[in-house]
């Protein structure tokens, strides 16, 4: 009504109100349109951003998935390799266990066979004893019934009769049992030794010759000698060796009883020849360098020997002395290689006989260490080596094995016997050592003369390179029992009076020949 009145009163007001209303509506519509457009644009942008984010997330997810798959494949390959390695190790251990079980089964079978054989022999002896007792009772009753002798005379006569009847049988049985037992022991010992030697891959022995240094030209000899022999005198005084320079083309001979000193001189002389400057000052310089090199080489050689055998816990001084064996030789056999070989053999023999292989290989490696000790000490290399290792804390078993490996002292444990056996096997294997022809002939001659010195021996022959001696006795003056006693006596005299490698088989031959000529 109020508006109508206003409109009636003033028509312009209506027009203004209408314009305002239209303007407000138009503004509201414009704002609504702008807002709607903005909202639509925001939604579109949000959709685009979500699509971009979704694509980026998909790409990142694909990359993560691919990386995870690659890691999974790598992990699977690593796990497969580890499983293959463990499977191979398991197969190796299984084969070792099977081999050990087979060897144990073989030993059990052999022990059962020996037990059965001993039971049979015991049963046979029991039966023979029962038969002898029965025969004795019957004879005693028969004698008591037909004779008026007293009990003591009857017992004496019966004892003599039984002894005469059973003497040959008992002797034959005793020989049979002894021969069979000795044969079984020999077969078992041969099996163990052959097994150990087959498992050991031995290297050929090194040739030991005089140390020779090659020269680039004949002019170098004059430079080594120096003015009025000044250089050669200085070299010999510094190194403690003797240089032999003769007409041999382009070579110099180094002579010394000490192989370590000779090696130091060789290295020093080669350095001087290569450098070209030879005078007393340079000689002392190169000698000092060579001495350091040899000492390092000695230490490394000792550590390499321990690494080969898997031994640890040795005193550093023992390792150093052990390395010096590299420059020692015995009948062309390198002392360090021989010691390592004895260590391997002791370990194998100990494993075959149920002993501690680590303790055995330790004693075997150190058995000749006394050969590398300086000459200030008195005594054999066995006693010197035993004293050395005892000083640095080795066990009494190892000390006794070293001291007794040449039987200079009594072996106190079975490990000493293993070292003696392994030392002998390493020394007597084909190609291990070289022996001069003179010494070889003298050894055979001593063996034959020792056999001929026994009463009753007619002829004696050393055969098989001195590893067997065959003795022929006179059958008219020597009986079978005496022939057996001669074999024992000769064996004991060989063991006490001769030094020999390995073993010597003694064979006594007693035979009678009867010849007739038909005409």
Band of pLDDT at residue 167, cut at 50, 70 and 90 = low
Same domain, 285 and 373: yes
Is 377 part of a structural domain of the chain?
yes
pLDDT band with cut points at 50, 70 and 90 for residue 3: very low
**Kind plus residue range of the DSSP H or E element containing 330:** strand 329-330
- Return the CATH number at 243: 3.30.1370.10
Asked if residue 498 and residue 357 are part of one domain, the reply reads no
Cα–Cα distance between 10 and 4 in angstroms, integer? 10
Residue 241's contacts (CB-CB under 8 Å, 6 or more residues apart) are 254, 255, 256, 261, 262, 265
> CA 429, 411, 308, 104 torsion: positive or negative?
positive
The stretch 26-38 carries a mean pLDDT of: 82
Q: Has residue 2 got a pLDDT over 50?
A: no
Q: Rounded to whole angstroms, what are the CA distances from 172 to 123, 233, 487?
A: 17, 77, 18
For position 191, what pLDDT does the model report?
Answer: 59
In a domain, 490, yes or no: yes
Segment 321-344 shows an average pLDDT of 80
With bands split at pLDDT 50, 70 and 90, how would you rate the model's confidence at 439? low
Residue 364 shares a structural domain with residue 444: no
Greater pLDDT, 208 or 370:
370
Above 70 in pLDDT, residue 272? Answer: yes
Residues 235 and 322 in one domain: yes
- Give the separation between CA 6 and CA 13, rounded to whole angstroms: 7
Q: Please say which residue of 434, 467, 493 terminates a domain.
A: 434
pLDDT on residue 205: 46
Confidence of residue 56 (pLDDT cuts 50, 70, 90): confident
Domain count, the chain: 2
Q: Please give the sequence-ordered ranges of beta strands (E in DSSP) within 150-282, or none if there are none.
A: 211-214, 242-244, 251-255
Report d(CA 295, CA 324) in Å as an integer.
Answer: 9
Band of pLDDT at residue 154, cut at 50, 70 and 90: low
Q: Is 178 a domain residue? A: no
| Residue 6, in any domain of the structure | no
pLDDT tens per residue, range 202-211: 554 444 445 7
Whether 309 shows a pLDDT value over 50: the answer reads yes
Are both 220 and 312 inside the same structural domain?
Answer: yes
Q: Is the pLDDT of residue 508 over 80?
A: yes
pLDDT tops 60 at residue 230: yes
Strand partners, 333: 330
The answer to whether residue 319 scores a pLDDT higher than 50 is: yes
Q: Are residues 387 and 487 in the same domain?
A: no
Give the total residue count for the chain.
Answer: 519
Residue 237: pLDDT band with limits 50, 70, 90? confident
Distance CA 396, CA 445 (A): 40
**Structure confidence at residue 371 as a pLDDT band (50, 70, 90):** confident
* Residue 233: pLDDT over 60: yes
Asked if 470 and 429 sit in the same domain, the reply is no
Q: Which of 455, 451, 481 is nearest to 469 (CA)?
A: 451
Q: Which residues contact 510 (CB under 8 A, 6 or more apart)?
A: 472, 473, 475, 478, 480, 483
Distance CA 353, CA 368 (A): 23
Among residues 499, 345, 334, 340, the alpha carbon closest in space to that of 431 is found at 334
Q: What is the rounded average pLDDT of the residues 219-240? A: 83
Contacts for 204 with CB less than 8 Å, ≥ 6 apart:
431
419 and 353 in a common domain: yes
**Is the alpha carbon torsion for 112, 117, 122, 124 positive or negative?**
positive
Domain annotation covers residue 150: no
**What is this structure's pTM?**
0.46
Q: Coil, strand or helix: which one is 260?
A: helix
- 211 versus 394: the higher-pLDDT residue is 394
- For residue 361, being part of any structural domain is answered with yes
Region 52-58: mean pLDDT is 84
pLDDT tens, position by position, 100-123: 788 787 888 888 888 888 888 888
pLDDT at residue 5 above 50?
no
- Give the pLDDT score at 187: 58
In this predicted structure, the answer to whether residue 239 has a pLDDT above a threshold of 60 is yes
Mean pLDDT of the chain: 78
Residue 65 inside a domain? The answer is no
Task: Give per-residue pLDDT as tens, 121-136.
Answer: 888 888 878 877 787 7
pLDDT exceeds cutoff 60 at 436? no
Cα of 371 vs its chain's centroid, Å:
20
Q: Which residues of 240-272 are buried (b: 16+ CB within 10 A; e: fewer)?
A: ebebeeeeeeeebebebeebbbbbbbbbbbebb
The least confident of 179-193, 253-267, 296-310, 378-392 is 179-193
Say if residue 479 is in the same domain as residue 402. Answer: no
| pLDDT exceeds cutoff 50 at 317 | yes
Please report whether residue 388 resides in a domain.
Answer: yes
When pLDDT is averaged across residues 481-488 and rounded to a whole number, the result is 88
Last residue in a domain, options 372, 405, 434: 434
Gap between the terminal Cα atoms of the chain: 191
Domain boundary residue, one of 411, 434, 457: 434
Q: Considering only CA atoms, which of 235, 344, 221 is closest in space to residue 282?
A: 235
Q: Is pLDDT above 60 for 194? A: no
Closest CA to 271 of 235, 218, 308, 311: 235
- Give kind and range of the element (H or E) at residue 478: none
Strands 211-214 and 251-255: antiparallel
pLDDT of residue 1: 46
Name the more confident of 181 and 407: 407
Residue 169: pLDDT band with limits 50, 70, 90: low
pLDDT digits (tens, 9 = 90+) for 410-431: 888 888 888 888 888 777 655 4
In terms of residue numbers, what domain contains 307?
206-434
Q: Both 428 and 393 in a single domain?
A: yes
Pair (321, 464) in one structural domain: no
Confidence of residue 441 (pLDDT cuts 50, 70, 90): confident
What CATH number corresponds to the domain at position 471?
A: 3.30.70.1350
Are 363 and 263 within one domain? yes
């Amino acid at each position: 009504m109020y508006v109508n009145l206003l409109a009636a009163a003033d028509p312009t007001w209506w027009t203004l109100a209408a314009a305002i209303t239209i303007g407000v509506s138009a503004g509201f519509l414009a704002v609504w349109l702008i807002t709607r457009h903005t909202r639509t644009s925001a939604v579109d942008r949000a959709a685009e951003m979500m699509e971009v984010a979704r694509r980026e997330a998909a790409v990142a997810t694909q990359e993560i998935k691919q990386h995870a798959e690659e890691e999974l494949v790598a992990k699977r390959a690593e796990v497969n390799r580890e499983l293959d390695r463990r499977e191979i190790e398991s197969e190796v251990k299984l084969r070792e266990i099977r081999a050990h079980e087979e060897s144990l089964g073989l030993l059990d079978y052999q022990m059962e066979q020996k037990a059965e054989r001993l039971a049979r022999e015991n049963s046979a002896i029991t039966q023979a004893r029962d038969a002898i007792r029965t025969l004795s009772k019957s004879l005693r009753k028969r004698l008591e019934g037909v004779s008026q002798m007293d009990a003591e005379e009857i017992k004496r006569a019966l004892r003599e009769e039984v002894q005469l009847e059973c003497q040959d049988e008992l002797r034959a049985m005793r020989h049979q049992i002894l021969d069979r037992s000795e044969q079984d022991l020999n077969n078992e010992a041969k099996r163990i030794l052959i097994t150990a030697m087959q498992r050991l891959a031995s290297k050929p022995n090194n040739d030991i010759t005089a140390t020779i240094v090659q020269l680039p030209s004949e002019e170098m000899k004059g430079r080594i000698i120096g003015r009025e022999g000044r250089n050669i005198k200085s070299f010999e005084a510094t190194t403690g060796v003797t240089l032999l320079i003769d007409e041999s083309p382009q070579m110099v001979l180094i002579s010394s009883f000490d192989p370590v000193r000779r090696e130091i001189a060789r290295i020093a002389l080669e350095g001087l020849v290569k450098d070209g400057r030879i005078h007393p000052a340079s000689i002392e310089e190169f000698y000092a360098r060579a001495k350091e090199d040899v000492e390092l080489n000695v230490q490394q050689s000792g550590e390499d020997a321990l690494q080969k055998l898997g031994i640890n816990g040795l005193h550093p001084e023992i390792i150093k002395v052990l390395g010096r064996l590299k420059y020692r030789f015995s009948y062309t056999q390198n002392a360090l290689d021989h010691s390592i070989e004895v260590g391997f053999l002791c370990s194998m023999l100990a494993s075959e006989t149920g002993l501690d292989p680590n303790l055995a290989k330790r004693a075997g490696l150190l058995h000749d260490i006394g050969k590398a000790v300086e000459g200030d000490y008195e005594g054999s290399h066995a006693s010197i080596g035993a004293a050395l290792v005892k000083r640095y804390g080795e066990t009494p078993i190892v000390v006794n094995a070293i001291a007794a490996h040449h039987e200079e002292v009594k072996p106190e444990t079975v490990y000493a016997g293993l070292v003696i056996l392994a030392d002998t096997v390493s020394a007597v294997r084909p190609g291990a050592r070289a022996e001069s022809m003179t010494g070889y002939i003298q050894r055979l001659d001593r063996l034959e003369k020792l056999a001929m010195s026994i009463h009753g021996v007619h002829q004696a022959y050393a055969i098989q390179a001195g590893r067997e001696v065959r003795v022929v006795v006179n059958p008219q003056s020597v009986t079978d029992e005496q022939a057996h006693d001669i074999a024992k006596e000769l064996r004991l005299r060989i063991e006490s009076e001769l030094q020999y490698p390995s073993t010597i088989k003694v064979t006594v031959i007693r035979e009678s020949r009867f010849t007739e000529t038909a005409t």
